[in-house]
């Protein structure tokens, strides 16, 4: 007859804590959103609208502004300028009319077209932290 060996009372909580640490060490990946813009045209639009005057934007020549948020890793951010969740739809709205999401923002409305806003948003959502 086989003997059943009981596990000490403290083993289960210890295993749960170890499991939590093991799985909690990595940041969950944010799933990329479906966008309908063209990221290459977004880079061109960013230059045309002068976004780089205020923002530093990786991959966009001349976009080395320092008076507004640096946009490195933008796709991994939880929010847009602490005003709204960082979703494609909110980002398109923000690019076209930032005051709609945050009336007190210093970001100006630049009369960005819907198409250009979609392209810019699509490009910004390619910018991941590494």
Which tens digits make up the pLDDT trace of 63-76?
Answer: 999 999 999 999 99
Position 5 in a domain: no
pLDDT band at 130 (very low <50, low <70, confident <90, very high): confident
Position 74 in a domain: yes
Position 33 in a domain: no
pLDDT band at 25 (very low <50, low <70, confident <90, very high): very low
Which tens digits make up the pLDDT trace of 92-124?
Answer: 999 999 999 999 999 999 999 999 999 999 999
Q: CA of 44: how far to CAs of 57, 70, 102, in Å?
A: 12, 18, 26
Higher pLDDT, 42 or 11: 42
Position 10 in a domain: no
Position 20 in a domain: no
Position 26 in a domain: no
Residue 3 has pLDDT above 50, yes or no: yes
- Mean pLDDT computed over every residue of the chain: 86
> Rounded to an integer, what distance in angstroms lies between the CA atom of residue 105 and that of residue 41?
26
Closest CA to 42 of 57, 30, 31, 55: 57
Domain range spanning residue 103? 39-124
Residue 51 has pLDDT above 70, yes or no: yes
Question: Based on the structure, what is the number of domains in the chain?
Answer: 1
**CATH number of domain containing 103:** 2.60.40.420
User: Is 129 within 8 Å of 118 (Cβ atoms)?
Assistant: no
> Rounded to an integer, what distance in angstroms lies between the CA atom of residue 52 and that of residue 65?
5
> Rounded to an integer, what distance in angstroms lies between the CA atom of residue 37 and that of residue 8?
58
Position 24 in a domain: no
Tokens for 71, please give them.
């946009």
Burial class (CB in 10 A: 0-12, 13-18, 19+), 10: exposed
Position 103 in a domain: yes
Average pLDDT of span 75-97: 96
């Amino acid at each position: 007859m086989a003997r059943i060996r009981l596990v000490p009372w403290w083993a289960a909580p210890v295993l749960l804590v170890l499991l939590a640490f093991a799985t909690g060490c990595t940041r969950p990946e944010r799933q990329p959103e479906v966008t309908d813009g063209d990221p290459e045209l977004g880079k061109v639009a960013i230059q045309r609208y002068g976004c780089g005057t205020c923002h530093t934007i990786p991959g966009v020549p001349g976009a080395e502004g320092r008076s507004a948020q640096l946009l490195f890793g933008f796709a991994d951010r939880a929010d847009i300028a602490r005003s709204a969740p960082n979703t494609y739809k909110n980002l398109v709205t923000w690019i076209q009319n930032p005051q709609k999401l945050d009336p007190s923002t210093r970001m100006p409305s630049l009369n960005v077209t819907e198409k250009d806003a979609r392209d810019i948003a699509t490009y910004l959502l390619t910018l991941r932290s590494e």
